[in-house]
Chains A and B, each alone.
Chain A
Amino acid sequence: MTIAAAERVWVLLLALTAAGALLGETGGAGGL
């Protein structure tokens, strides 16, 4: 994996973390 690819994965996972935190706070992931 190149550094550029690692950076893309890092940014993607940070974005998913933010989305997860939002869902966790709002209970929006109910039923999953």
Chain B
Amino acid sequence: MSQPLADGAITGGRVPGNAGIWVGIFCVLVEFLLLFTVYFVAKAHYPEAFLTGPDKLATVAGATITVLLLTSGYCMVKAVAAIRDNRRRATLVWILLALALGLGYPLVKFFEIRWNIAHGVDNTAGIFYGVYYYLTLNHLVHVSWGILGLGWVAVRTGIGAYSAAEHGGLEAAAVYWHTTDVIWLVIFPFFYVLR
């Protein structure tokens, strides 16, 4: 198991990952809290735009991204479980699966934006789409960091850096990946479902 945040600081449990990743996760959550506040302020001022806005978005793209992220996150759960059993090969397979599914996100996003532009949904299409692009592209940036993190822990797993006794780095990548997943689970209904 990975080390606690500080010697003697934790007596009743264990914090997964490491201190640095939780500082980062806190910052990401605060950032998106602000962005979601922007969403609600804009929605309060332009209710009509938010009532009709989702009609022009490709629901299937949002749903596909949701399924990709959920399933990729599940693969990381299996990866962490595998390393806790010292099954390094299985760990690597699960991470690579998570990575492959995660890479589907920018791919779907590319086709979604191309489809949007073909249907007149660009940055001049109105307030709803401005907020949509701002939030979803910001999320894409954070997912890109997560993808890099998954690639990094895949390499580390491949060279035998993790074991049942020490896999804090792998846990850190997993909890960050789950964080991007949770944030998307708010973005999806806000922009693709709710009116």
Contacts and interface: CB of A to CB of B under 8 A. Distances in A.
Q: Do A and B bind each other?
A: yes
Interface of A: 3, 6-7, 10, 13-14, 17-18, 20-21, 23-25, 27, 29-32
Given A3-B78, A6-B77, A20 B67 contact: no
A20 B193 contact: yes
B62 interface: yes
A17 B193 CA distance: 10
B195 A14 contact: no
A20 B192 contact: yes
Interface of B: 51, 54-55, 59-60, 62-63, 66-67, 70-71, 73-74, 77-78, 81, 185, 188-189, 192-195
Contacts of B194: 29, 32
Nearest to A7: B74
Given A3-B77, A13-B185, A23 B70 contact: no
Nearest to A17: B66
Nearest to A26: B59
Contacts of A3: 77-78, 81
Given A13-B185, A17-B70, A24 B77 contact: no
Given A13-B66, A17-B70, A24-B59, 10 more contacts: A10-B73, A13-B185, A14-B67, A17-B63, A17-B66, A20-B66, A25-B59, A27-B54, A27-B55, A30-B51
A10 B71 contact: yes
Contacts of B71: 10, 14
A6 B6 CA distance: 28
A21 B192 CA distance: 8
